[in-house]
Structure 1
Amino acid sequence: MVSRLAVNGGDALRTRPWPAWPQPAPGVAGAMADVLGSGRWSISGPYRGTDSYERRFARAFAAYNGVPHCVPAASGTAGLMLALEACEVGAGDEVIVPGLSWVASGSTILGVNAVPVFCDVEADTLCLSPDAVEAAITERTRAIVVVHLYSALADMDPLLRIAERHGLPLIEDCAQAHGATYRGVKVGALSTAGTFSMQHSKVLTSGEGGAVVTRDAHFARRVEHLRADGRCLSATLPSPGAMELVETGELMGSNRCLSEFQAAILTEQLTILDEQNETRRSNAARLDGLLGGLGLRPQTTSAGTTSRTYYTYAVRLPDGVLEDVPVTEVTDALTAELGFPVLPCYAPIPANKLYAPHTRRRYTLGLTHEERIDPKRFALPVCEGAARRTVTLHHAALLGGEEDMGDIAAAFAKVLRHGAELVH
């Protein structure tokens, strides 16, 4: 039989290029040049008589999220670790976290010597299940981390009630949700703290970077100390040439600071975030209709969501179709048709080959601890089902136009129509 699928040597459905990512805002080049000639490339450099870009971005991002405090950080991972430690999570404490997420959601908890307790997710939103959280709480639970995954927001109302009832801090991991709102409030502002990633693939990026936002001044001060070797920014501006970071001795920290170059990029990229998010939302709605008509099930979001951010477009394959074909073969076929990466959704963290505590000696803290962090002890049937049947597209594809969405739908239709070619 002559193959009709590009993955098997047929003609690809599309050869035109897709929108590039990242896309620099108009002011980025000028801001970078400003930092380059400023004599200050870091907040740990000498004060030069003007606000650092780090301070400028912190103010802008706090205002954007409707909170009084933002502490930039070197990465999303750093931000989450800072937030956990600011909540005084430490050795042996249990932290509840969804089992379906990027591997850092688990390894970051290990990084503060705590124990990740992986919980199952809701089948439609792929976000943390409140019922699973309630069942997982023990006397050792010290915090809950909720991830707003792909393009969905977790069901925050019951999660907030659970956290309040048990006296637990709730941290929102908003690495994939910059600008999304729940009941009109920006994510990250709903809980004890919100953490963000500005890694290369994110909708707001400086290549690497992160931030912690909060309404709590004491919490923000702890985060400041934790990210700058135990120092915090001075309440009063110093003389030019002096250090702006003050050695208070309040709390020991590490160096997890954002550079001035990254802060300058983020300050400018923030000015175009809402416009880009609106383009993605419009195209995602169009794609929902096209793919839904083919029997696929786009990821939904919780009832309280008032505005979605599309970091990744996730869709579940139709029931009864290609069920004997590994999802990686389906995504390879779609990628070959589109010339754009289509990927399976994340593997459940306990089954992810990147999550391997036994490969690092720093986690060998005794037999009991090693048993508690053993990923094999977690059964997550909803996460596992989603991983077998869900495929994803990066948000760059959603920055195209109506014709681009039509091409995506046509590629899915072609692969579904000729799926017999993938059955061995």
Structure 2
Amino acid sequence: MEVRGMPLHTSRLAIDNGTPVRRRPWPVWPQPADGAFDALARVLRSGRWTISGPYRGVESAERRFARRFAEYHHIAHCVPASSGTASLMLALEACDVGAGDEVILPALTWVASASTVVGVNAVPVFADIDPDTLCLDSDAVEAAITPATKAIVVVHLYAAVADLSRLRKVADRHGIALIEDCAQAHGAEFDGRKVGTFGAVGTFSMQQSKVLTSGEGGAAITADPVLARRMEHLRADGRCYPDKVPLPGGMELVETGELMGSNRCMSEFHAAVLGEQLGELDRLNGQRRRNAELLDSLLVGLGYRPQSSAPGTTSRTYYTYAAELPDTQLPGADIVKVTDALTAELGFPVTPAYSPLNANPLYNPASRNRFALGPQHEKLIDPTRFVLPVSDRLTRRLVTFHHAALLGDESDVRDIAAAFAKVLQHRATLAS
């Protein structure tokens, strides 16, 4: 048997002591840009390791990165932060989301999307997903809107862009803030524009696994100067940048008394690394995209169903590659057995999709006393109150893997496809 000229492996599955498809190592992530080491050394010698340190007569790495990231998105403002979670919290509070407000978000996403909403004393409302893109379904959003709805958080999940045209229309029709969570979509485009520029605020994570990373870090972008100023205060204990450059040795944050904040600032080390990594983003995104498109064609030929992006997407990025198992050949497969088998064949982690938030063990507000704000609030934030049939069905049928595996060449892609083909050959042993 062959798949487009690629020999299939007929030995036992590696998980059953057979010979694996792949023994060679895979690309490692993160990959530091050429200038990252020198950038870190400059910060070490600068006498300023954070924006709350004294001004030394030169522009901070944080301000340089913020300007470059805003320019990359063709938008006016960028506020760096300590994490993607912090960035989303800044966005929510800048949009005046708070106690008792409802925030609609997708049922299938990383847990921080929901825990951050609870963290500002608001109520997460889970809406189901589109079965093709795995992103927020606009009809489900429309059905979930109530007089208490204050914002919609759309997550561009894995390797897809959500349907921003339809979601933007829903938000505008109801006068609700649209916030884009782009933690997994740095550089993706919809209708020729970068994601993160369609909502009131776009938020990003730069955690180690992300396609743009400094280990930890985040950023929020906006075209609105009022929201930008609010986010500056919120992330720096109520302080913001001054109108004039201070004298060397002085503070570059001023105490305005406008808005109480918390410390969610990005360090100079993280900002320096991001400034260098940003120059590599488009090249690496292009490499992943080309390999993913080849893999799509190979897996479709086997009956798998790769995740698609919404109509109107003009450029995809691949944080996670996701594909649905063939219904005809693996109708009753145990998803964990399948992912364990693929992992053994390939030598890198292949995992099921995130668990839906109504059944995700990482999302459990009742486990923390800070959210015990009374019986009515506790009932509203109980995730088990939501019924999410599309998310529940698909998360038992999806396999995913990290984008590092897409940073190789065509032979690497064909190894991945060969492992997926081999699993199909041994499907009888993987039935639940």
Q: Would you call these one fold, judging by a TM-score over 0.5? A: yes
Deviation, structure 1 residue 17 = 0.3
Looking at structure 2, the residues matched to 235 and 421 of structure 1 have their Cα atoms a distance apart, in angstroms, of 67
SS of residue in 1 equivalent to 2:232? helix
Structure 2 match to 1:27: 35
Residue of structure 1 equivalent to 2:7: none
1:197 aligns with 2:205: yes
Which of 152, 170, 175 aligns to 1:144? It is: 152
Contact in 2 for aligned 1:98/1:127 (Cα 8 Å): yes
* Paired residues of 1:145 and 1:170 also in contact (CA < 8 A): yes
Residues of 2 paired with 1:246 and 1:350: CA distance? 43
For 1:279 and 1:3, the matched residues in 2 are separated by 32
Per-residue CA shift, 1:167-193, capped at 9, x if unaligned? 111000000000000000100011101
Q: Write the letter of the residue equivalent to 2:420.
A: F
Kept in 1: contact 2:70–2:221 (CA 8 A): yes
Shift of 1:407: 0.1
Alignment-mate amino acid for residue 231 of structure 2: V
Instruction: Answer yes or no: is 1:278 the counterpart of 2:286.
Output: yes
Give the AA of the match of 2:83: S
Quick check: 1:335 aligned with 2:379?
no
Q: Share of identical aligned residues, percent?
A: 66
For residues 290 and 107 of structure 2, the distance between their equivalents in structure 1, rounded to whole angstroms, comes to 30
| Alpha-carbon displacement from aligned partner over 1:338-375 (angstroms, at most 9, x marks no partner) | 00111111110111000011100011000000110111
Shift of 1:325: 2.7
What amino acid is aligned across from residue 326 of structure 1 in structure 2? D
Report whether the alignment pairs 1:228 with 2:236: yes
Q: Report if the CA contact (8 A) 1:3-1:9 is conserved.
A: no
State the distance in 1 between where 2:280 and 2:332 align: 43
Name the CA distance, whole Å, in 1 between partners of 2:429 and 2:273.
46
**Secondary structure, in 3 states, of the residue corresponding to 2:215?**
coil
Q: Give the Å deviation of 1:164.
A: 0.7
Provide the residue aligned with 1:74 in structure 2: 82
Q: Distance in 1 between matches of 2:110 and 2:257?
A: 35
Contact 1:5–1:421 (Cα < 8 Å) also in 2:
no
CA offset at residue 83 of structure 1? 0.2
* Residue number among 378, 396, 402 corresponding to 2:404 in the alignment: 396
TM-superposition CA deviations, 1:358-413 (whole Å, max 9, x none): 10001100000011011111011111111000111100011000000000000000
Equivalent residues of 2:11, 2:19 under 8 A apart: no
Q: 1:8 is matched with which residue?
A: 16
- In the alignment, the residues of structure 2 paired with residue 14 and residue 299 of structure 1 have an alpha-carbon distance, to the nearest angstrom, of 24
- Give the letter aligned to residue 58 of structure 2: T
Structure 2 Cα separation of the partners of residues 126 and 317 of structure 1? 14
Q: Is the 8 A contact 1:200 1:206 kept in 2?
A: yes
Q: Say if 2:227 is the partner of 1:219.
A: yes
Alpha-carbon separation, structure 2, partners of 1:61 and 1:223: 16
In 2, the alpha carbon distance for the partners of 1:386 and 1:36 equals 48
**Is the 8 Å Cα contact of residues 334 and 430 (structure 2) preserved in structure 1?**
no
Provide the C-alpha distance between the structure 2 equivalents of 1:421 and 1:355, rounded to a whole number of angstroms. Answer: 33
In the other structure, the counterpart of 1:121 is: 129
Deviations 1:82-101 (A, max 9, x none): 10000010011000000000
Q: Check conservation: 2:73, 2:197, Cα contact below 8 A.
A: yes
Distance across 1 between alignment mates of 2:53 and 2:285: 35
Aligned-pair CA distance for 1:3: 7.3
CA contact (8 A) 1:96 1:118 kept: yes
Confirm or deny that 1:292 pairs with 2:296.
no
1:84 matched to 2:92? The reply is yes
| Matched-pair contact (CA < 8 Å) for 1:32–1:264 | yes
Q: Is 1:352 paired with 2:354?
A: no
The residue identity in structure 2 corresponding to 1:188 is G
For residue 283 of structure 1, give the secondary structure of its aligned residue in structure 2.
helix
Residue by residue over 1:195-216, the C-alpha shift from the partner in whole angstroms, topping out at 9 and shown as x without a partner, is 0000000000000000000000
Q: CA deviation at 1:31?
A: 0.1
Structure 1: which 4+ aligned runs deviate by more than 4 Å?
Answer: none
Does residue 318 of the first structure (1) align with residue 326 of the second (2)?
yes
Find the aligned partners of 1:79 and 1:124 in 2 and give their Cα distance: 28
Normalising by structure 2, report the TM-score: 0.97
The number of residues matched between the two structures is 423
The 3-state SS of whatever aligns with 1:14 is coil
Q: Does 1:185 align with 2:193?
A: yes
- Counterpart Cα distance in 2 of 1:111 and 1:328: 32
Q: Deviations over 1:234-262 (max 9, x none)?
A: 12110000000000000000000000000
Q: Which letter does structure 1 place at the counterpart of 2:127? A: C
Partner of 2:61: 53
Q: Which runs of 5+ in 2 are unaligned?
A: 1-9
1:95 equivalent among 103, 108, 130? 103
Which residue identity does 1:307 align to in structure 2? S
| CA-atom RMSD in angstroms | 1.0
List runs of 5+ in structure 1 lacking aligned partners: none
**Where does residue 36 of structure 1 map in the other structure?**
44
Q: Residue 27 of structure 1: CA displacement?
A: 0.2
Per the normalisation by structure 1, the TM-score is: 0.99
SS of match in other structure, 1:383: helix
**Is this contact kept in 2: 1:3–1:421, CA < 8 A?**
no
Find the counterpart in structure 2 of residue 376 from structure 1.
384
- Match for 1:191: what amino acid? G
1:405 to 391, 407, 413: 413
Q: Which residue of structure 1 lines up, in the alignment, with residue 262 of structure 2?
A: 254
Cα distance in 2, alignment partners of residues 208 and 322 from structure 1? 38
Among 170, 176, 180, which residue is 1:172 paired with?
A: 180
1:302 counterpart = 2:306: no
